Amino acid sequence: MTQQAEVKQDAPKLKKHTIWQNGHSPEPCAIVLFGATGDLAQRKILPTLAHLIHDHPQPETICIVAFARRPLGDDGWRKMVLESLDKYMPADDKLKAADKQAFAQRLFYCQSDFDDDAGYQRLGQLLDTLDKEQHTGGNRLFYLATPPDTDPEIIAHLGKAGLAKPRAQNGNDKKCWVHIITEKPFGHDLASAQSLNAEIGKVFHEDQIFRIDHYMGKETVQNIIAFRFANSIMEPLWNQKYIDHIQITVAESLGIESRAEYYEASGAIKDIVQNHVMQILSLVTMEPPADFSANDIRDEKVKVLRAISALTPEQVQERTVRGQYTAGEEDGKPVVGYKEEKGVNPKSTTETYVALKLFIENWRWADVPIYIRTGKHLPKRSTEVIIQFKRVPHQLYTTDQIGNMQPNQLVLRIQPDEGITLKIGAKVPGAANDLATIDLDASYRTVFGIELPEAYERLIADCILGDSTLFIRRDEIEESWRIIDSITNTWKQMDPDTVYPYATGTWGPKEADKLIRKDGRRQWVNP
Ligand code: BG6
């Protein structure tokens, strides 16, 4: 499955990407989906699995078992999935009827409530049968695509039924593997995340646990590591001596769609900053790891988070801005404001936009502000990191000659139009010594001519291979919540009028512009 892009009519056809790292072939396994009839599984996980299995054929068998309440049986579940594949596979990435049927033959159903001991016994028996009849090899991947409050119960039952322990493989000393994937949100604050970690930790070992943040599956997020550590020219400049500030923008043009219940309890800071932004931030600012092992990379990421102090109430007031969208237009069509969305409290103070400033207190980043903003119903969908370099130490050109030329800027375009732009000063041809900013630009699709893998496909493939590099470790989650809690705890005490309105289709409340402008000549770089 591929990350969809705006494909131009005459764009050359892109080559297929690979998905199994370094040519490793996956071992056979059974994937057990909890929440299998829910929206995430039907819309995202099952189409991704169908493509993963079809586009990257592997010698070994993968079967998918639904563990769900509804009385469907294998046939009903297969019919449901086939309908979802038709509905949710992107128009330019559909499978042929025969390929969909072949996928359906790998689907099995185990009907049970999540709290029913007998259901987990039946699951164990079904998995044993699949090992014998379908050759799934005793390896299991439990995928929790479930509301987070049900996770502890499922995990405890898996433990009780003896399903969490890897067993010996038939005929040799090697162990089978058992992995578990959990989806976000992982807790709703530090205390709940710690308690969830403790519950999982009673049953699964940390290296069996794969906490998903789908941003880590994006090719361009992984490319931050390659850009920084495969090139020698950037690293000497990558510090407080040369960098004025960093901006991370995650802009969305969509509103909350039909997710009012979830979003009311979450808001922009928990929905996007606690996870996706913190992941991007730590990759951009971490030290070089000792090597590329999962734990060495994650050690460095967590060190960065530890170097961000909890914000005091005064700092929260000075360094954060909340906003909420009001009615306006999206793609030329009128849309309602957040308070008028179905399922939202008309007096809601939930933020759909947040801008904030953080500091990383270490030698590399001392006094370099990191400006973060994210929001729903902004003018376009775009995720970018801006590395704003300092001005030259001594300017030889006159103010007239400089004109609008800006100091160097590096733009890491995470999505869409994935790529990198370096903005540099250049002389305008002619007798005058006038300067202008020009772009050195690279687009990953154009340069490589290879389609970008879809984030979920990459992550599920890595989990099957047992590589946890792109998954979030226990301490990363907790450090990130520590920072977010310090902000949300103060927000709870603040006047609700400090959630500023902004019209749909604009770049957020003007208070967010003031937040960055009050630090000198800085301003948001809009994509
Ligand atoms: C999800 C959030 O984690 O990320 C959504 O819950 C958001 O609210 C989505 O829309 C954005 O993901 P992407 O890949 O479209 O940037």
Give the pLDDT band of residue 7 (cuts 50, 70, 90).
very low
CA of residue 252 to ligand 1 center, whole Å = 8
How high is the pLDDT of residue 521? 80
Q: Which CATH architecture has domain 29-183?
A: 3-Layer(aba) Sandwich (3.40)
**Model confidence pLDDT, tens digit, residues 147-188:** 888 999 999 999 999 999 998 876 666 789 999 999 999 999
Q: Are 315 and 490 in contact (CB under 8 A)?
A: no
- CA–centroid distance, 275 to ligand 1, in Å, is 10
* Residue 24 confidence (pLDDT): 77
3 state SS of 75: helix
* Cα–ligand 1 centroid distance for 524 (angstroms): 21
Domain with CATH 3.40.50.720 in the chain: 29-183
Give, using CA atoms, the residue closest to atom 10 of ligand 1.
252
Does the CB atom of residue 252 touch ligand 1 within 6 A?
yes
Angle at 281 between CA 278 and CA 286, to 5 degrees: 115
Instruction: Give the Cα separation of 205 and 175 in Å (integer).
Output: 14
Is 276 noted as a catalytic residue in this protein? yes
Q: Would you say the CB of residue 55 lies under 6 angstroms from ligand 1?
A: no
For domain 219-453+468-518, which architecture applies? 2-Layer Sandwich (3.30)
Cβ neighbours of residue 252 closer than 8 Å, sequence gap 6 or more? 374, 375, 376, 377, 378, 381
Instruction: Judge if the beta carbon of residue 478 lies within 6 A of ligand 1.
Output: no
Q: What is the pLDDT of residues 248-303, one digit of tens each?
A: 999 999 999 989 999 999 999 999 999 999 999 999 999 999 999 999 999 999 99
Q: Which residue has the higher pLDDT, 467 or 13?
A: 467
What separation in Å is there between the alpha carbon of 219 and the centre of ligand 1? Answer: 16
pLDDT digits (tens, 9 = 90+) for 27-86: 999 999 999 999 999 999 999 999 999 888 777 899 999 999 999 999 999 999 999 999
Largest CA distance in the chain: 85
pLDDT at 93: 81
Per-residue pLDDT tens over the stretch 400-450: 999 999 999 999 999 998 999 999 999 999 988 899 999 999 998 888 888
What is the DSSP-derived secondary structure letter of residue 41?
Answer: I
Closest ligand 1 atom, residue 262 Cα: 6
271 lines ligand 1 (CB under 6 A): yes
Q: What is the residue with the minimal CA distance to atom 2 of ligand 1? A: 271
| Residue whose CA is at the smallest distance from ligand 1 atom 9 | 272
In which residue ranges of the chain is CATH 3.30.360.10 found?
219-453+468-518
- Closest residue by CA, ligand 1 atom 13: 215
